Structure 1
Amino acid sequence: MFLVLGGCSHIGPGSVAVDRFDYSSAVADSWKQQTLLNIVKLRYLDMPVFVDVASVVAGYSLETGGSLGGQVSSADAVQGNSVLLGASSKYTDRPTITYVPLTGERFLTGLVTPIDPKKIFGLLQSGYAADFILGLTVDSLNGVRNRSAVAGTVREADPEFLQVLQLLREIQVAGAVGMRVEEDKSKGQIALLFMRSNDITPDIQAKQKMLRGLLHMPEDRQQFVLRYSPVRGEADELAVSSRSLLQILTAFSSYVDVPQEHIEDRSALPAFREGEASSARAQIHILSGKDKPRHAYVAVFYRDYWYWIEDSNLAAKRALGAVMLFFTLAETSGNEKAPLITIPAQ
């Protein structure tokens, strides 16, 4: 009976429904933790290290066996009749997970190279909020500077930049701004930012005019070529000084609540000066403490302290998710010949 049951059962199909989601959740959670850990490490001037999960091979085996024995004795035998039953089973779950350390020239280049402005504004075209995406990925627009955190020094954004983000968001919601990519025989693909002038309300037209004034863009033009540049270019261009992934991570690290003892022993970069960036700090805040948090969206342990993002902090959760998305946009694929670390989990 046991031999028949063992030959007819299938454990593979039933494991798909469970393992697919369990492994997906585990990889996603570890990715969030790895990203947060590297953000925290940058406040300590520690090198960020990324390890990718290259493959997960789940191996299962089910062994069953049974035995049936007995003895029939004669009428005058000392021992009587007997029946012996036996059964055994063995279940083994032995996944093999392969990790790939992201190293090499291609990875480092992707880490420090500014993200293509075409990709950034492509996210806006896909529906992402302009003020949120540009606030994380852009250092300046036509020379109007965003908030920056470099080597422990925090430079606040120009007031005009904050107005630009707000106006862009309102114009985006009204559907009066967009982007398209065109082919140029001599220049290849070029990205064009255009402002729609037809079928829009006078209020949106006034905001478009105000936006052009803040960015020093001519009022009679409806489309502008997106160019990477830290300074303002030609009249028909919108100069975008985009950030690299490393710059985005560094800017994010300025919101880490570093323990006071680490500030005093100078093992970490200084925290905010009092009153500095209070509005941004209230929105994006990475907490720290000795005890493991109970209601954290993601938490990591580093240098005897826990660092975490509260599950109720929607702005910080959205920003962390965006950083993970930017990691993909930055083309940080490791070297194909990178070493593999394979750990059998038994």
Structure 2
Amino acid sequence: MDYEPSESKVRCLLIRIPLVALIATACHVAGCGTLGPASVQRDRTDYGTVIATTWKEQTLLNIVKLRYGDAPVYLEVSSVISSSAMESQVSLGANWFSGLPIDGNSQSIGASGRYTDRPTISYTPLSGERFSRYLLQPLSPAAVFSLVQAGYPVDRVLQLTTRAINGVYNRSTSPARARAADPRFYQLLEALRRIQRSESLGMRINQRMSDESVLVIVTRDVSEKVENDRHAVREILHLRPDTSELKLTFGMVQRDDTEIALLTRSMSEIFLELAATIEAPPLHMQEGRANPAPAAPDPASPWDAPLVRIHSSAERPADAYAAVHYRDYWFWIDDRDMKSKSEFLFILVLFSLAETGVAPQAPVITVPAN
């Protein structure tokens, strides 16, 4: 017996299929949720990673430029505004004719979606007064000892940030100030490092005037070896043996035996020190395109090794902590060189610490929520 579907049943069949597709398509396009929380999880990590990476690369590039006598350029990412929007649209249409066969009927279904991401990133060039504060102004002696108080190794902090302590000079590799270190300076660093590791020396900094702080030394009973180191430190720096409060000032020489005069470096000086020990390509050295390498000290000391080893190669390095391309060469820090990596990270911390005064207020921007 032949079965011929009625017109009403055919219509029900034709309508049911588009409706199922309509619901599935709408849920797929709209995501059956909101875009906001997911974008925070994605964007915060991605933007943070990229900003940190480019910060390292910009600092490394400017150090390399100083070796070649080029002007450094600093751009800060002052704001990142990400505005995202998702739009979806679903349409359904059907036409039926009065008679059979069903070939005369027509249906249509359509869906469309659009995703828009318009990030607004603002860059602020470092110039004028802010350039002077960041790069040309020497670090504050109180800020230097605050790093020691916070737990940073005292020998690394003083070797990197100071030119002299109470007239005892550090080594300099920059072309303008090239000189060997006073042997007592390295003795001072070694004694201070042993004292810090013994955890027998505590300190706090009290601000007294705008240009003077008081370094309060807190001591306890120590072993004979540590006591000898403490005596050696006071002897090298010509400090009174019985005082526990020392004035902390910026200067070349001390005014009396209760003062620590710290001749600190600026960030520009620190960058020049690092630039002088870059392993520049021999061809550039022969052609006079880069400043010559500093002479090796005699006698040599482990303290005279480069603070950060920056290599160069014609090919892009496969395993680099930070790498920049400059004058057809790659300059990079090896990711397996933990000493150079930690020192470079410390320099980035110092760069942030060099900012003084009132921070400029960022403009208030209203972004519509989509």
**CA spacing shift, 1:275–1:217, aligned 2, 3 Å:** closer
Range with bigger deviation, 27-36 or 274-283: 274-283
Give the equivalent residue in structure 1 for 2:14: none
Per-residue deviation at 1:190? Answer: 4.1
Give the equivalent residue in structure 2 for 1:192: 214
**CA spacing shift, 1:183–1:34, aligned 2, 3 Å:** closer
Counterpart AA for 1:68: L
Aligned mate of 2:323, from 299, 309, 312: 299
Counterpart AA for 2:55: W
Can you list the C-alpha shifts for 1:218-274, whole angstroms capped at 9, x where unaligned?
222233111111123311101111111111111111221111111112111001335
Q: Note if contact 2:310-2:331 (Cα within 8 Å) is conserved in structure 1.
A: yes
Q: Note if contact 2:201-2:219 (Cα within 8 Å) is conserved in structure 1.
A: no
Per-residue deviation at 1:178? Answer: 3.4
The alignment of Structure 1 onto Structure 2 pairs a total of residues equal to 336
Please identify runs of 4+ aligned residues in structure 1 that moved more than 6 A. Answer: 275-278, 332-335
Give the equivalent residue in structure 2 for 1:242: 264
1:315 aligns with 2:365: no
Q: Note if contact 1:232-1:238 (Cα within 8 Å) is conserved in structure 2.
A: yes
Per-residue deviation at 1:79? Answer: 4.4
Give the equivalent residue in structure 2 for 1:273: 295
Give the equivalent residue in structure 2 for 1:326: 350
1:158 aligns with 2:185: no
**Partner-residue secondary structure (3-state), 2:249:** strand
The answer for unaligned runs of 5 or more in structure 2 is 1-22, 363-370
Give the equivalent residue in structure 2 for 1:205: 227
| Identical-residue share of aligned pairs (%) | 38
Counterpart AA for 2:292: P
Per-residue deviation at 1:307? Answer: 0.3
Give the equivalent residue in structure 1 for 2:281: 259
Q: Note if contact 2:204-2:217 (Cα within 8 Å) is conserved in structure 1.
A: no
1:231 aligns with 2:253: yes
Q: Note if contact 1:177-1:194 (Cα within 8 Å) is conserved in structure 2.
A: no
Structure possessing the higher relative contact order (Cα contacts under 8 Å, 6 or more residues apart): 1
Give the equivalent residue in structure 1 for 2:3: none
**CA spacing shift, 1:78–1:115, aligned 2, 3 Å:** closer
**Partner-residue secondary structure (3-state), 1:94:** strand
Per-residue deviation at 1:121? Answer: 0.2
Can you list the C-alpha shifts for 1:290-346, whole angstroms capped at 9, x where unaligned?
1000100000011111000000111111121111111122116899599xxxxxxxx
Aligned mate of 1:67, from 77, 82, 91: 91
1:13 aligns with 2:37: yes
Q: Note if contact 1:257-1:287 (Cα within 8 Å) is conserved in structure 2.
A: yes
**Partner-residue secondary structure (3-state), 1:150:** coil
The answer for unaligned runs of 5 or more in structure 1 is 339-346
**Partner-residue secondary structure (3-state), 1:59:** strand
Counterpart AA for 1:22: D
Range with bigger deviation, 92-101 or 174-183: 174-183
Q: Note if contact 1:102-1:333 (Cα within 8 Å) is conserved in structure 2.
A: no
Per-residue deviation at 1:91? Answer: 1.3
1:222 aligns with 2:244: yes
Counterpart AA for 2:240: P
Alignment of 1:44-123 (within 5 A): 44-75=68-99, 79-123=103-147
Per-residue deviation at 1:183? Answer: 5.0
Give the equivalent residue in structure 1 for 2:6: none
**CA spacing shift, 1:193–1:171, aligned 2, 3 Å:** farther
Q: Note if contact 2:175-2:294 (Cα within 8 Å) is conserved in structure 1.
A: no
**CA spacing shift, 1:196–1:278, aligned 2, 3 Å:** closer
TM value normalised by structure 1: 0.89
Instruction: Find the structure with the greater CA-based Rg.
Output: 2
**Partner-residue secondary structure (3-state), 2:324:** strand
**CA spacing shift, 1:247–1:312, aligned 2, 3 Å:** same
**CA spacing shift, 1:266–1:320, aligned 2, 3 Å:** same
- CA–CA distance in structure 1, aligned partners of residues 214 and 196 of structure 2: 15
Per-residue deviation at 1:278? Answer: 7.4
